[in-house]
Amino acid sequence: MTPEAGFRLRHKHLLGIEPLDADEVRLILDTTESFLEISQRPIKKVPTLRGRTIVNFFMEPSTRTRSSFEIAEKRLSADSLNFSAAGSSVSKGESLIDTARNLEAMAPDMIVVRHSAAGAPHLLARVCRSTIINAGDGAHEHPTQALLDAFTMRQKKGRIDGLEVAIVGDLLHSRVVRSNIFLLKKLGAKVRVSGPPTLVPPGLHRLGVEVRTHMEEALEGVDVVMMLRVQQERMLGGAFPSLREYFNLYGLTEERIKLAHRDVIVMHPGPLNRGVEIAAEVADGPYSVILEQVTNGVAVRMAILYLLSGGVVGELAA
Amino acid sequence: MPSHSDALVMDEAKIDRALTRMAHEMLEKNRDLESLVLVGIRTRGVPLAERLAGKIREIEKMEIPVGVLDITLYRDDATTIGPHALLKATLIHFPIDGKKVILVDDVLFTGRTIRAALDGIIDFGRPSCIQLAVLVDRGHRELPIRADYVGKNLPTAREETVEVHLREEDGQDEVHIVRPGTTSRKPEPRGKEPA
């Protein structure tokens, strides 16, 4: 299970889960274990990234991911700068590449990117010398979320290999689902997905998952239920008749939870829409590990920043 | 000179005697055992700290807490050398405020590991004092650091490597000086890094 001492990431950037191999994913998860402890110390700071500059380049709203990265950076003693779309030259019409080149002229060591367009971090990785970390690109990938989800599953279940995982909700707009499928398949979990047919992207089964239209079938006997947020802000309308009907068919209720394994854990990447995809009593209930996901997110991001900062010449470009 | 290329300088009995003497010195120097704690520096400082705690238990019937410190994140070359050593957790499950902390490591060389360990310890609180115990002091300090308890002073050339093998990690207790160009006795050479 444990990679050899001296093993390291073969990538300069973290653009997605898809390019990583299983050993690299395990290395990140094992390294995360050690970083969890730092957040419980009286002095929650280590000097590892002292003198490094990290830009958090967020072109889309984000609370959790951005603050999680920011705390991770501060606990590693890096200097960080937050840069968001509102109030920046992006709102004056500057292109992504021009903005990135200008940021890069200030010589940051890493850029954490959130963008509504899939592939934006990949574009930056081609034009920038800095290390690029994808913090969510369109409906493509959200690698740090998948890593913290996997870490939480491993923490609660002791393994990922052989776990039955159901991912339910708005699969069409979700980058979380894609990164999670890539990761869970690499580590040997079995994944079922479910959502209204209007919110299931065509060809999803080709990623090696079972697609079930009825939520009940997806939940049967699973070890992990991961609920996805209904991304109303991205819907042009007409995906389903009403939020109430959505909840009736795809909301995670205490009744439906009983279909899963009795030791099931319930996960959600946040933000929660209570009463839409998840009932309040389930979100706050004994199965829920939603807030532990947030705690683990900081440790996972510290591990990523640490592993990617050990960069030596000769790595692959991406 | 094959006999000089890999010289056994301490065997199991010598290591044990050195640890016994160090435990006695610790008791002599620290009258107030209630406030004494041992912290082993990963990797081989940890079994040494546990053995010293065992000796103190035999002599004084007192249980001394033992913590584990991983200094990887405090190294001055943490992000400039590669590949990374696999980071392991620091485990100090007791308060160290006002305590006498004895740091334990296998080899004292440049002093940089100890510099990093001091930074690490201080992030857990404010001990009343910090002392240092090492099994081998091989000289060549790059920082103003000295040990309070030394198992063996071992004069070495800079390019030589001191290898400490411990039962808990390597299956046997032995200290060797290995000269460059010769292969280590271990199947996987893991020489003490100059840090």
Q: Could you write out the DSSP letters of every residue in A182-249? A: HHHHHTT-EEEEE--GGGS-TTGGGGS-EEESSHHHHHTT-SEEEE----GGG--S-SSS-HHHHHHH
How many beta-carbon pairs below 8 A join chains A and B?
68
Mean pLDDT of A81-102: 81
Residue of A1, A8, A53, A308 for testing the chain B interface, max B β-carbons within 10 Å: A8
What tokens were used for A144?
A: 């740090």
The pLDDT score that the predictor gives to residue B180 is 81
- pLDDT confidence band for A251 (50 / 70 / 90): very high
More confident residue, A235 or A80: A80
Domain assignment of residue B139, yes or no: yes
Q: Does B13 touch chain A (CB under 8 A)?
A: no
Shortest Cα–Cα distance, A42 to chain B (Å): 6
On the question of pLDDT at B76 being above 90, the answer is no
The pLDDT score that the predictor gives to residue B75 is 83
Q: From CA B81, how far away is CA A214, in angstroms rounded? A: 52
| Each residue's pLDDT tens digit, A41-75 | 888 999 999 999 999 999 998 889 999 999 999 99
Return the closest-CA partner of residue B169 out of B106, B108, B84, B115: B106
Are residues A310 and B84, on separate chains, in Cβ contact within 8 Å?
yes
Mean pLDDT of A273-300: 96
Are residues B86 and A42, on separate chains, in Cβ contact within 8 Å?
no
| Each residue's pLDDT tens digit, B114-165 | 999 999 999 888 999 999 999 999 999 999 999 999 999 999 999 999 999 9
Domain assignment of residue B126, yes or no: yes
Q: For residue B123, what is the domain's CATH number?
A: 3.40.50.2020
The pLDDT score that the predictor gives to residue B185 is 54
Mean pLDDT of A206-235: 94
For B120, which residue in chain A has the nearest alpha carbon? A46
- pLDDT confidence band for B190 (50 / 70 / 90): very low
Shortest Cα–Cα distance, A214 to chain B (Å): 44
Domain assignment of residue B166, yes or no: no
**What is the average pLDDT score of chain A?**
91
Residue of B73, B115, B121 for testing the chain A interface, max A β-carbons within 10 Å: B73
Neighbouring CB atoms inside 10 A of A286's CB total 8
More confident residue, A153 or A101: A153
More confident residue, A308 or A93: A308
What are A's interface residues with B at a Cβ cutoff of 8 A?
Answer: 2-8, 27, 30-31, 33-38, 41-43, 45-49, 52, 76, 306-307, 309-312
On the question of pLDDT at B1 being above 60, the answer is no
Residue of B68, B70, B84 for testing the chain A interface, max A β-carbons within 10 Å: B84
Shortest Cα–Cα distance, B160 to chain A (Å): 22
Are residues A47 and B90, on separate chains, in Cβ contact within 8 Å?
no
Which residues constitute the domain of residue B39?
14-25+33-76+91-155
- pLDDT confidence band for B44 (50 / 70 / 90): very high
Shortest Cα–Cα distance, B66 to chain A (Å): 17
On the question of pLDDT at A7 being above 70, the answer is no
Going by their DSSP bridges, the two strands A79-84 and A110-115 should be labelled as unpaired
Beta carbons of B133 and B149 less than 8 angstroms apart = yes
Among the ranges given (A238-242, B170-174, B178-182, B186-190), the one the predictor scored with the smallest mean pLDDT: B186-190
In chain B, the number of structural domains is: 1
On the question of pLDDT at B191 being above 80, the answer is no
Are residues A52 and B73, on separate chains, in Cβ contact within 8 Å?
no
Shortest Cα–Cα distance, A306 to chain B (Å): 8
Q: From CA A66, how far away is CA A278, in angstroms rounded? A: 24
Q: From CA B164, how far away is CA B184, in angstroms rounded? A: 11
Most confident of A92-96, B82-86, B182-186: A92-96
Are residues A3 and B123, on separate chains, in Cβ contact within 8 Å?
no
Are residues A37 and B89, on separate chains, in Cβ contact within 8 Å?
yes
For A310, which residue in chain B has the nearest alpha carbon? B79
Among the ranges given (A9-13, A271-275, A314-318, B181-185), the one the predictor scored with the smallest mean pLDDT: A314-318
Domain assignment of residue B161, yes or no: no
Tell me the pTM. Answer: 0.85
**High-pLDDT (> 90) share of chain B, %:** 72
Beta carbons of A298 and A75 less than 8 angstroms apart = yes
Most confident of A99-103, B18-22, B68-72, B83-87: B18-22
Q: Please state the three-class secondary structure of A33-97 as a single string.
A: HHHHHHHHCCCCCCCCCCCCEEEEEECCCCCHHHHHHHHHHHHCCCEEEEEECCCCHHHHCCCHH
Are residues B89 and A27, on separate chains, in Cβ contact within 8 Å?
no
Domain assignment of residue B178, yes or no: no
For A306, which residue in chain B has the nearest alpha carbon? B79
Q: Does B43 touch chain A (CB under 8 A)?
A: no
Return the closest-CA partner of residue B49 out of B59, B39, B58, B57: B39
- pLDDT confidence band for B80 (50 / 70 / 90): low
On the question of pLDDT at B188 being above 60, the answer is no
Are residues A306 and B87, on separate chains, in Cβ contact within 8 Å?
yes
> Which residue in the set A3, A6, A46 is minimally distant from B74, CB to CB?
A46
Are residues A7 and B86, on separate chains, in Cβ contact within 8 Å?
yes
Q: Does B83 touch chain A (CB under 8 A)?
A: yes
**High-pLDDT (> 70) share of chain B, %:** 86
Which residues from chain B sit within 8 angstroms of residue A2, using beta carbons? 86
| Each residue's pLDDT tens digit, A113-150 | 999 999 999 999 999 999 999 999 999 999 999 999 99
The pLDDT score that the predictor gives to residue B183 is 56
- pLDDT confidence band for A5 (50 / 70 / 90): very low
The pLDDT score that the predictor gives to residue B6 is 85
Among the ranges given (A98-102, B63-67, B74-78, B187-191), the one the predictor scored with the smallest mean pLDDT: B187-191
Are residues B123 and A31, on separate chains, in Cβ contact within 8 Å?
no
Are residues B79 and A52, on separate chains, in Cβ contact within 8 Å?
yes
ipTM for this prediction: 0.71
Which residues from chain B sit within 8 angstroms of residue A30, using beta carbons? 86
- pLDDT confidence band for B3 (50 / 70 / 90): very low
Shortest Cα–Cα distance, B70 to chain A (Å): 9
Domain assignment of residue B8, yes or no: no
Domain assignment of residue B62, yes or no: yes
Domain assignment of residue B116, yes or no: yes
